[in-house]
Amino acid sequence: MVSHGIPFGIIFGGTDLNEDVNQKEKNEVMGKVLEEARFAVAFTESMKEAAQTQWPHARGKIYVQSQGVVTVPNAAFNWNTFLHCSGIYQNADNLHIFLLVCGLRQVKDPLYLVDAFSEWHQEEPNVYMVIVGPEVDPVFTREVKAKVKRTAGVRLLGEMIQEDLHAALKNCFAVVNSSVSEGMSAAILEAMDLEVPVLARNIPGNAAVVKHEVTGLLFSDPQEFVQLAKRLVRDPALEKEIVANGREYVRRYHSWQAERDTYQSLVQTLEGSIEE
């Protein structure tokens, strides 16, 4: 890798450390980029440790900064219109909508819960799962669309602008994450900030944010997801406790002001490098 002389830093996402490191070529490229970078930011201590294990030479330049959260729901958002666009025409007051927010790619595994959820929907027709997100992988998107089209109780919507997505999160019953791997899920943090319960697949990235039965619910397979989802529907006290704890957690550990200050400080180190 040829140096271009411009100081820069990098931010790890999740797929890079969880998936791309297992591909030799990508691993080597990231290692070379880290050699040139003045700093790198990981969202959690476990992500930092993973990066240090892969690239020991970068050990002294990796910082930890959790994602900050800012939610701005669209006040003009119409929940009934959202439901109709999803092909759901029942009375909104009697529905329990589980929202899965993800780009349509395999690492997000949006089909993981589809069959189990559909069985539940056939028992209780007022529960629906709506998958919302951009079409990232065209081939996989076709697979998702075909599966959802023939599956009762599951709907698929395209990408939404952030303000409308936040409004949809605020109106749904619970937010779901079924990813194979995560760095730090923005949808989970946004749901907590908007006082919406979270059900997340029990993987390291999610478990770093969601404490089971405290700030959310963690499931290890589709059957456990359905069990926990049913419990959440039938136990308002549990829902209230999780929502309160989740909101407090986000306010305490995911401040956008702290995130801003960290990045401003890191960028200033780059500016100093340019001046030199």
Task: Dump the DSSP string for 75-136.
Answer: TT--HHHHHHHTT--S-GGG-EEEEEE--SSGGG-TTTTHHHHHHHHHH-TTEEEEEE----
- How many angstroms separate the Cα of 88 from the Cα of each of 96, 126, 153? 11, 10, 9
> For 19-51, how does the pLDDT look when each residue is reduced to its tens digit (9 = 90+)?
888 888 888 888 888 888 889 898 888 888 888
- pLDDT at site 267: 86
Q: What is the pLDDT of residues 108-164, one digit of tens each?
A: 999 999 999 999 999 999 999 999 999 999 999 999 999 999 999 999 999 999 999
Distance CA 226, CA 14 (A): 26
pTM, two decimal places = 0.87
Q: Which amino acid is at 104?
A: L
pLDDT for position 259: 83
| Residue indicated by tokens 């069985």 | 119
Q: Cα dist. 124→127, 130, 150, 154 in Å?
A: 6, 16, 18, 13
Strand 9-11 versus strand 198-201 pairing type: unpaired
Q: Cβ-count burial of 275 within 10 angstroms (0-12 exposed, 13-18 middle, 19+ buried)?
A: exposed
Q: What is the distance between the alpha carbons of residues 149 and 143, in angstroms, rounded to a whole number?
A: 10
End-to-end CA distance of the chain: 23
